[in-house]
Amino acid sequence: MLFFTEGLEAIREFLDSGGIILSAIAVMIFVMWLMILERLIYGFTGHKKMKKSLISNWQARAERASWNAEQIRQAFVARAKLKLDQNLTLITTFVALCPLMGLLGTVTGMIEVFDVMAISGGGNVRSMAGGVSKATIPTMAGMVGALSGVFANSYLQRKAKREIEILEDSLELEIQH
């Protein structure tokens, strides 16, 4: 229990050292990773069930070579693509917003430094250090969040594209000669 409370205190001190912007970045990264985990879970469990259902529905059709059958096949693929791509655009948006929020933290921290310089005449280095900390920590957090999100997002997009290609191959049209 002591370890847990010490950990929470360390997190609180870290968030305080970066200002309110760092808290916003932390919330944004948390939400982004929840969405990434949801997409990973869907990709490994839910999509397999949906793919199996679509393939069995396709194979249960008596006629699979007409124009109507092609339209149904495309609808099956589009339905699977919609489910696979769900929230990927939002994850991409969070990845793009992380460094921007870090820059906002930089600006607010530097404003604090300039305020201290205006009040103390620029000679008080200790009081300026807090503002510099508030300027650099959110930038670092925004970049770390963006980098981790970029790798996860590109993996999810590649996996979705590959799964759609596999589904399209599984739902081949039977061309009659």
- Burial (Cβ within 10 Å: 0-12, 13-18, ≥19) of residue 117: middle
- Whether pLDDT at 176 is above 50: no
Domain layout of the chain by residue ranges: 2-170
Name the burial class of residue 123, with classes exposed (0-12), middle (13-18) and buried (19+) by CB atoms within 10 angstroms of its CB.
exposed
Q: How confident is the model at residue 175 (pLDDT cuts 50, 70, 90)?
A: very low
pTM for the whole thing? 0.78
pLDDT reported for residue 40: 92
pLDDT score, position 173: 59
Backbone dihedral region for residue 113 (phi beyond 0: left; psi -120 to 50: alpha; all else: beta)? alpha
Q: Give the number of C-alpha atoms closer than 13 A to the C-alpha of residue 121, restricted to the C-beta side.
A: 1
Q: What tens digit of pLDDT does each residue of 93-140 get?
A: 999 999 999 888 888 878 877 777 777 766 667 666 666 777 788 888
Summarize the confidence of residues 71-90 as an average pLDDT: 88
Query: In this predicted structure, which of 86-90, 133-137, 161-165 has the lowest mean pLDDT?
Result: 133-137
User: Sign (positive/negative) of CA torsion 156, 157, 158, 159?
Assistant: positive
Q: Which residues of 135-168 are buried (b: 16+ CB within 10 A; e: fewer)?
A: bbbbbebbeebbebbeebbeebbebbeebbeebe
